[in-house]
Every structure is written in structure tokens, then in C-alpha cells.
Amino acid sequence: MALRVYLILCWILLLAYTASVVGDHGLNLLPIFFGDIARMGWPGQFNLDFMLMLSLSALWTAWRNRFSALGLGLGLIAFFGGAGFLLPYLTFLSIRSRGNIGLILTGRS
């Protein structure tokens, strides 16, 4: 139950922060994101690291769903949605699996 509370609180925090950033700066993320990577500074290093974590999340999501059409679609959403996808997805999986961590992580009990 503590994990679910943590996931939900993180999701609420992320939604509030994202709404504020979008309100102040709009949705023009990609040129800034990749521009920082191209400049080869610390913001770019962080963005590259983050993008690799997004790819790992997407790969895990697709693998967990046996690379089915649904799994590939969820993987794509995981890559572009980041924690905005992963936090509610893990919450859903924890409820559906009744907290069985093996089932959450692998899809198999």
C-alpha cells in the first residue's frame, strides 16, 4: 500500500509541475530537449541519460507484455509519456497483481 501511495503522490506532483511548465513555456519541448543534447553540456547529459531511461522503460513495458501489439503500443506511450505513464501503469499493475512484485515486474507469477 505504501508503494501505491508513493506512486500516486509522485503522479500528482508531476501533473502539477507539468501543468505549470506548460502554462509558462508551452509545449515546445523537443527543440529545447535535443538542443541541450547537441550543446554537449550538463543539461544535455541529463537529457541523454533521461532519454536512455525512457527507452529502458519502453523496452521493459513492451517485454512485460510479450511484445504484443498492445505491448508495443504501451512501450511507445512509455517512451513519450515518461513517469506520466509509468506511475499510473505501476499503480494499476500493483492493484491488479495484489502487490505481487514478481507479477508486477514480469507479468508472470
Task: Give me the amino acid identity at 11.
Answer: W
Label residue 78 by pLDDT band (50, 70, 90).
Answer: very high
Q: Cell numbers at residue 108, please?
A: 508472470
Label residue 1 by pLDDT band (50, 70, 90).
Answer: confident
Distances (CA, A) of 32 to 35, 70, 106: 5, 31, 35
* Predicted local confidence at residue 109, as pLDDT: 61
